[in-house]
Structure 1
Amino acid sequence: MPYLTTDDGVALHYEDVGEGTPMVFVHEFAGDHRSWEPQLRFFSRRYRCIAFDARGYLPSDVPPTPASYSQDRATDDIAAIIKGLNLAPAHVVGLSMGAFATLHLGLRHAPLARSLVAAGVGYGAAPGKREQFQAEVEITAGKIRDQGMDKMADIYGRGPTRLQYERKDPRGFAEFIAQLAEHSTLGSTNTMLGVQRVRPALGDLEAGFAAMKVPTLIIAGDEDDPTLEPALFLKRTIASAALLVMPHCGHTMNLEDPDAFNRAVLDFVTMVDAGRWPLRDPSTQAGGILGGGQK
């Protein structure tokens, strides 16, 4: 298995397949590198694809304390993969927790990114939801620590934004739950407490997003309620962003509807590579309703 070691000594496992322009995939809390299999099979036909396991996710290292986990560290781990494998600038595709880190990469390490895809991003970031999210993270992390990820997988994996996947693809969903049950209890607990509980709200980063120019695609499932308002915020704030809302989709849209997800991402990166991805015209945000000529 190939590994890359970060500057704080954590070994990150990665999969590397295909040739061409590099594309890095960053998984969600309930996923790992295997969650990107439908994307690796599709994009590796024309891109060099790298999917890695975040710290805390076997076979990557599992640091023993939450202090070794943070939003900045999760972002820097993407940067470590890109720099260590000489991939810059790379297309970076993130889901949920991985999408938060992907957006932070655009804020803190923009030269490393050719483009950003942030899918299912925004849990706890909607107005008035931060304290509720932090409280739920505390409770869930405690249950994972006390009961073990092998027992909690079936409970966590059947949250209200996951049921769409089970309805569409029962076999795929069963595989998702089985893989989640294999996750490290310690790593999952530390990730919740060190990354998710204390990450900044997206609204707190508004000035940085307003200045960001990396081509960005925001993807939300229309039945993934916690991400809809944050997705609109990101679209309105990032001048280089487009927003795609996938119908009848929950949180795991890359697995629920892989063909639609892959085609949307392919269209996006093709436009970026052709130099045809635009910044939004500020006049489209003038605030009028009916158009010109109004007094």
Structure 2
Amino acid sequence: MSYATTDDGIEIYFDAKGQGMPIVFVAGYFGISDIWQAQTDALSEKFHTVAFDSRGYSRSAKPLQAEAYSIPRHAEDLKAVIDAAGIRGPVVLVSHSIGCNIISTFAVNYPQQVAGLVYTACYVDGKQMRDAGMTVEMVCEAVSTPSGAVAFYQPFGVTESVGAEAAKWPAHSMQANAAAFLNHEMADRYDAITAPALILQGENDAPNPLPFATALQQALGGGAELKILKGVNHFPPLEAPETVTAYVEEHACKCFAE
């Protein structure tokens, strides 16, 4: 098992495999590397793939202080993982849900380290989510018990076996991460992102409907390519693994060829 240690002393579990140009996978509010298993298994035959558990989840440390959780903090954790994995050149970053804000923040802060971006189940920022009716209190109440945490994800397309993992995560970290993503605003920062971007959005995404994806596309200056995944809800890596893998591989090859 491999761990990166962040600049605030938190251990982040990561799994690195394969050789070649680097692709790093970033989970969202379902913050475990398991959601990327199909992609890393397939792509590690050609690329150096890295996936990790976010702080507060699974094999990574779970600090008790609420202030230890924020989107900028997660972006610095991503930096620590990239460094610990021995990656020195630009990477392609692949994200899910709130991971999209994490990689966007990283791309703003470390543009020279980003070759390309892939967003799945995306949105613009926490304000967009709040404007759509989601509140910190609503999410915190929903995930306050193990059974509630599992039930929270069930309508979003997660597989039963993977969804059951949510029962293992402490309520304090899930609640702190809820505040982290819902309070984060960055709509005015996307114009600083210049790396080529690909958006993969399920046509039936329950929490992040298609207008969220088109809003992100516009925020990125309209140059991002948008692919709508038929019959897919909020978990494209699990619901359409082969399709997501193929799109990630195609985009990565384009980015690394530039």
C-alpha separation between the residues in 1 aligned to 2:96 and 2:3? Answer: 22
Show the counterpart of 2:169.
183
Does the C-alpha gap of structure 1 residues 262 and 131 become closer, same or farther in structure 2, counting only changes over 3 Å? closer
The question of 1:90 aligning with 2:91 is answered yes
Aligned position for 1:210? 191
Q: In the comparison of the two structures, how many residue pairs are matched?
A: 255
Distance in 1 separating the partners of 2:245 and 2:44: 12
Q: CA deviation at 1:31?
A: 4.1
Kindly state the Cα deviation for residue 127 of structure 1 after the two structures are TM-superposed: 5.6
CA distance in 2, matches of 1:272, 1:124: 25
Taking a change above 3 Å as real, the CA distance of residues 156 and 234 of structure 1, as seen in their structure-2 partners, is same
Q: Say which of 194, 203, 215 aligns to 1:233.
A: 215
After the TM superposition, which segments of 4 or more aligned residues of structure 1 sit over 6 Å from their partners? none
Distance in structure 2 (CA, Å) of the matches to 1:124 and 1:237: 11
Deviations 1:139-169 (A, max 9, x none): 2213423xx2x2113310223x33xx5xxxx
Deviation for aligned residue 1:197 = 2.6
| Structure having the higher Rg | 1
- Aligned residue runs from structure 1 range 249-268, under 5 A: 249-268=232-251
Cα distance in 1 for partners of 2:243, 2:150 equals 27
CA distance in 2, matches of 1:268, 1:23: 11
Match status 1:246 vs 2:236: no
Alignment of structure 1 residues 7-86 onto 2, 5 Å:
7-86=7-86
Q: Residue by residue, what CA displacement relative to the aligned partner does 1:60-111 show, whole Å, maximum 9, x if unpaired?
A: 1101021111111011111121233331311110100111111111122111
Per-residue deviation at 1:123?
Answer: 7.5
> Deviations along 1:152-199, whole A, 9 cap, x unmatched?
13310223x33xx5xxxxxxx121222222223222122112x12311
Identity %, equivalent residues: 23
Q: 1:17 to 1:227 in 2, by over 3 A?
A: same
**Residues in 2 aligned to 1:68 and 1:249: alpha-carbon distance in whole angstroms:** 33
1:121-152 CA distance string (max 9 Å, x none): 1177586843722x2x312213423xx2x211
- Where does residue 178 of structure 2 map in the other structure? 192
1:38, CA displacement in angstroms?
0.5
For residues 265 and 36 of structure 1, the distance between their equivalents in structure 2, rounded to whole angstroms, comes to: 12
2-side partners of 1:47 and 1:187: how far apart?
32
Partner amino acid, structure 1, of 2:77: D
The one-letter code matched in structure 2 to 1:44 is S
Where in structure 1 are there 5+ consecutive unaligned residues? 166-172, 276-295
| 1:4 and 1:13 in contact (8 A); partners too | yes
1:141 paired with 2:140, answer yes
Cα gap change, 1:42 to 1:84, in 2 (>3 Å): same
TM-superposed deviation, 1:120: 0.7
> Which of these residues, 191, 206, 222, is aligned with residue 203 of structure 2?
222
Structure with larger RCO (C-alpha < 8 A, sep 6+): 2
Distance, in Å, in 2 between the alignment partners of 1:228 and 1:18 is: 34
Letter in 2 for 1:154: V
Asked whether 1:103 is paired with 2:111, we answer: no
Task: Please say if residues 124 and 130 of structure 1, whose CA atoms lie closer than 8 Å, have aligned partners that are also in contact.
Answer: no
Q: Are the counterparts in 2 of residues 122 and 231 from structure 1 also a CA contact under 8 Å?
A: yes
Distance 1:224 1:26 in 2: 19
Supply the distance in 2 between the matched residues of 1:30 and 1:85 (Cα, whole angstroms).
22
Q: Which residue of 1 aligns with 2:149?
A: 153
- In the alignment, what sits opposite 1:121? 122
Tell me which of 266, 273, 285 is aligned to 2:256: 273
Consecutive unaligned residues in structure 2, runs of 5 or more = none
User: Is the 2:104–2:193 Cα contact (8 Å) retained in structure 1?
Assistant: no
Q: Which amino acid aligns with 1:230?
A: F
- TM-score, reference length from structure 2: 0.91
